[in-house]
Amino acid sequence: MNANFFALLSVVLISLSNCTPVLNQEDNKAFRTFVESAGSQFDIWIKDGTIISGLDSPGFIADILVKGTTIQFVGKVDTSLFEAELEIDANKKVVTPGFIDTHAHGNPLKTPNFRNFLSMGVTSICLGQDGSSPNYRDLSIWMQQVEEHEPAVNIIPFVGHGTLRKLSGVGYQRVPSTDALNYMKTLLESALEAGAFGMTTGLEYTPGVYAEDAELLSLAQTVGQYDGMIMSHIRNEDDNEIQSALEELIRQGAFCNIHVSHLKIVYGKNSERAQEILQLLRSENISHRITADIYPYNASFTGIGILFPEWAKPPNNYASVYQKRKKELLDFLRNKVIARNGPEATLFGTAPYKGRTLAQISEEKGLPFEEVVANIGPTGASGAYFVMNEDVQDALFLDPKVMVCSDGSPTMYHPRGYGSFAKIIQDHVNRKKLLSLERAVHKMTSLPAATLGLKDRGSIEPGYMADLLIFDPSQIQANANYIEPHALASGFDWIIVNGGIAMSNGQLKGKRFGKVLRKE
């Protein structure tokens, strides 16, 4: 055989290798029928990706066609029947729905880019947490302002119970008058009618700490009438108090769906204790759905007021308390800090002590650590508190009712706001192998979507909104840590929000495609 024959043969082989695989008759007929109804022009063609739909089912190789904001087709395509403006090769990568963060913080009017969330694959965030939401009597005005700012991620709004107390004039009262409670309910109804997904409570913070059962149950009835849910930072997360705090929330579950924010057992020491607490979430006596979320870090982050007794926090006059009850206050603070793993376990996240522990500040100043805390006061700082046990938190996370949150923001001095969702893949899936990638994606997509009542997000299906991620799971890195908490996560190749390209080839584009989502 001569050289010309081999040259011709090589051309034929190259041509065959570039051909699209032939569809079987059934697939070809289905695709032709689709094109006849949907047309042949599409905006995005994602080809040959391993689709992990979010439904906790095995991945499968398929193509995805996107037009406008929605997924139009998932399956095998005939390339001769359509054209796409953008072709993305997802071969040897996975395609998942965008992640949904059920407990996040941030101000979309000030930081609409939300690079921290996008970089770890989050395309939707729930705001208005811990009982605190924008200070608007008409929440629809705030929603409209956010839409005008064009956020980079979808905003899922909640109304805060503490904000309702402030707007209604109830403030720090333990028992609101009938008229005041009715006004709270009127404000709540207004927010729910505007599209809020429910109400959040922060019962470990003021003014939520002053609310009693009757008030909370009354508001839960209103939430239930709108098919909303209560997300709660429960009254106490300490090991010896968490059961009664959960039971308080469960009583509200007689009227509406309930959700435990950032589930943790402070001081909990073993996985058996985690199972005891999870039994409350599995109770068959709860008439509505109960769920929870968790972030994959063993340090919380909040204001230093969490260390102070109720009698030293607003509306009490702290200067007067410090003067009249100083010894009692110092004893309380010392015991509280020791119980929370000592001064080494408190890492300040605000100036002037940012990045240093309470133990370090105590040594620098030559003061007992309780005096350092007392001098700062209950509203003077925030910090990270290393109070959780990894085995306990892992056991809680694996429960089928528990999903993923960050409890983070663009500005918080804690890595969870920049790394949580990436860390789940990097740590819990790849390193510790606690669960499969499919199960992890489920906890970050379709489970929160179902919990929130989002009917067109959280899965990869025709007609769903095109919030999509394309990545190699082995490349996902949570780069933030407690020293550099604002390092962006890496490894996501493409991020699509409502059909818009927010990231391509691992680079954020700067364009914003998020929306304010409203509960139907």
Q: What is the pLDDT of residue 3?
A: 45
Helices 178-194, 213-225: crossing angle, 10 deg rounding: 30
d(CA 504, CA 499): 13
Instruction: Work out the number of other CB atoms within 10 angstroms of the CB of residue 378.
Output: 22
Question: Looking up tokens 């010309």, which residue turns up?
Answer: 4
Q: Are 496 and 66 in contact (CB under 8 A)?
A: yes
What mean pLDDT comes out for the span 339-364?
94
368-386 average pLDDT score: 96
pLDDT band at 65 (very low <50, low <70, confident <90, very high): very high
CATH 1.10.3470 given to domain 3-95: no
Q: Any residues with CB less than 8 A from the CB of 161 and at least 6 apart, and which? A: 131, 199, 200, 201, 202, 208, 211, 216, 219
| All residues at 6 or more sequence positions from 416 whose CB lies less than 8 Å from its CB, including other chains | 295, 296, 297, 301, 406, 407, 408
Q: What pLDDT is recorded for position 6?
A: 41
* Average pLDDT, integer, range 335-347: 94
Strands (E), 276-319: 290-294, 299-303
Please write the tens of the pLDDT for every residue from 159-198: 999 999 999 999 999 999 999 999 999 999 999 999 999 9
Element of type H or E holding 392: helix 390-397
Residue 55: per-residue pLDDT: 95
> Tens digit of pLDDT for each residue in 296-317?
999 999 999 999 999 999 999 9
Q: Which amino acid is at 422?
A: A
SS3 breakdown of the chain: % helix, strand, coil, rounded to 5? 40, 20, 40
Task: Note the pLDDT tens digit of each residue in 116-156.
Answer: 999 999 999 999 999 999 999 999 999 999 999 999 999 99
Query: Among 513, 486, 498, which residue's Cα sits nearest to residue 119?
Result: 486
| Amino acid symbol at 128 | G
How many whole angstroms separate alpha carbon 405 and alpha carbon 408?
Answer: 8
Please state the domain extents for the chain: 3-95, 99-298+389-457+475-492, 301-386
Q: Which two tokens stand for residue 419?
A: 């790394």
In this structure, what token pair is assigned to residue 315?
């509306």
The answer to whether 417 and 458 have CB atoms below 8 angstroms apart is no
Contact 197, 157 (CB under 8 A): yes
Structure tokens at 312: 């030293």
The stretch 223-228 carries a mean pLDDT of: 98
Distance (Å, rounded) from C-alpha 331 to C-alpha 457?
51
Q: What pLDDT is recorded for position 12?
A: 37
Contact 491, 477 (CB under 8 A): yes
13: confidence class by pLDDT, cuts 50, 70, 90:
very low
Site of tokens 């059961």:
243
Strand order in the sheet with 229-233: 159-160, 198-202, 229-233, 257-260, 290-294, 402-404
pLDDT for 278 beyond 60:
yes
Q: What is the average per-residue pLDDT within 502-506?
A: 97
Which string of DSSP letters, residue by residue, matches 2-70? -HHHHHHHHHHHHHHHTSPPPPPHHHHHHHHHHHHHH-SEEEEEEEEEEE--SSS---EEEEEEEETTE
Q: How far is CA 407 from CA 127, 159, 356, 420, in A?
A: 10, 16, 21, 9
Predicted confidence (pLDDT) at residue 493 exceeds the cutoff of 50: yes
pLDDT of amino acid 19:
41
Q: Whole-angstrom Cα distance, residue 498 to residue 279?
A: 38
SS3 331: helix
Q: What is the DSSP string of 132-151?
A: ---S-SSHHHHHHHHHHH--
Residue with tokens 């954020």: 508
Q: Which of 180-184, 273-277, 284-288, 425-429 has the lowest mean pLDDT?
A: 284-288
- Position 234 pLDDT exceeds 90: yes
Domain 99-298+389-457+475-492 sits in which CATH superfamily? Metal-dependent hydrolases (3.20.20.140)
CA angle 460, 463, 469 (to 5 degrees): 30
Torsion angles phi and psi, residue 84, rounded to 5 = -135, 140
Name the pairing type of β-strands 60-67 and 70-75.
antiparallel
